[in-house]
Amino acid sequence: MQELLAIIAKGLVDDPDSVVVDRDEPAEDGTVVYHIHVAEDDMGRIIGKQGRIAKAIRTIARSAAIRTDEKIMVEID
């Protein structure tokens, strides 16, 4: 999942070397939180107009997580 999020984020930003995807330990309910860190100048590219790109990234990640029976959340830092 980390690789998928990193590939998506690196394809959207101007500085792909600054993209870092971190994973938190599962919470009590089994939810895993992934954090996408990008350069300050690329935040707008990852979030998109009215959050549309961020929403699409979360949708793709949730769809991939269903295949592995995971509960996930994606946060953009």
What's the average pLDDT block by block, 10 residues per block, for the chain (77 residues)? 94 94 93 95 93 95 92 93
Helix (H) or strand (E) holding 21: strand 20-23
Would you kindly state where each structural domain of the chain is located, as residue ranges? Answer: 2-76
* pTM confidence score: 0.89
The tokens for 36 are 């996408």
pLDDT at res. 77: 86
Domain at 2-76, CATH class = alpha beta
Helix (H) or strand (E) holding 10: helix 2-12
The tokens for 30 are 């089994």
**Exposed/middle/buried for 40, CB within 10 Å: 0-12, 13-18, 19+?**
exposed
pLDDT at res. 68: 87
